[in-house]
Amino acid sequence: MKFLDEAKIYLESGKGGAGAVAFRREKYIDMGGPCGGNGGRGGHIIFECVEDLNTLIDFRYTQHFRAEVGHHGEGANRTGADGKDMVIRVPLGTVILDEDKETVLADMMTPGERMMFLKGGDGGFGNAHFKSATNRAPRKFLPGWPGQEKAVWLRLKLIADSGIIGLPNAGKSTFLSIVSRAKPKIADYPFTTLVPNLGVVYVHGREFVMADIPGLIEGAHEGHGLGTRFLGHVERTSVLLHLIDITQDDIVGAYKTIRKELKAYGGGLAKKPEVIVLNKMDALGQEVSEDQQKILSKAIRKKVHLISSISGEGVEKVLSELWQYIEKGRAQDKENAQDGFKPQDTVFDEE
pTM greater than 0.85 = no
User: Do 303 and 294 contact (CB within 8 A), yes or no?
Assistant: no
**Enclosing H/E stretch for 335:** helix 315-339
pLDDT tens across 222-270, in order?
666 666 777 888 888 899 999 999 998 899 999 999 999 889 888 788 8
Range picked from 9-13, 24-28, 313-317, 338-342 for highest mean pLDDT: 9-13
DSSP string, 112-154: T-EEEEEPPPPPPP-GGGG--SS-SS-----PPPP--EEEEEE
**What does the alpha-carbon distance between residue 116 and residue 97 come to, in Å, rounded to a whole number?**
15
| Domains of the chain, first to last | 1-156 (2.70.210.12), 162-339 (3.40.50.300)
How far, CA to CA in Å, does 180 sit from each of 75, 202, 319, 346? 65, 8, 11, 37
Cβ neighbours around 33 below 10 Å, total: 13
341 pLDDT band, cuts 50/70/90, is very low
Q: What is the DSSP letter of 67?
A: P
Q: What are the φ and ψ backbone dihedral angles of 200, each rounded to 5 degrees?
A: -95, 125
Helices 172-179, 315-339: inter-axial angle, 10-degree rounding: 80
Q: Looking at residue 344, what is its pLDDT?
A: 44
User: Strand order of the sheet with strand 114-118?
Assistant: 86-91, 45-50, 114-118, 345-347
Residue 94, classed as helix, strand or coil, is: strand
| Mode of pairing for the β-strands spanning 6-12 and 64-66 | parallel
Name the residue type at position 20.
A
Q: List, in order, residues 6 or more apart from 8 with CB less than 8 Å away.
A: 63, 151, 152, 153, 154
Q: Identify which has the larger pLDDT, 30 or 155.
A: 155
Q: Looking at residue 339, what is its pLDDT?
A: 64
pLDDT tens across 59-98, in order?
988 999 999 999 999 999 999 999 999 999 999 889 999 9
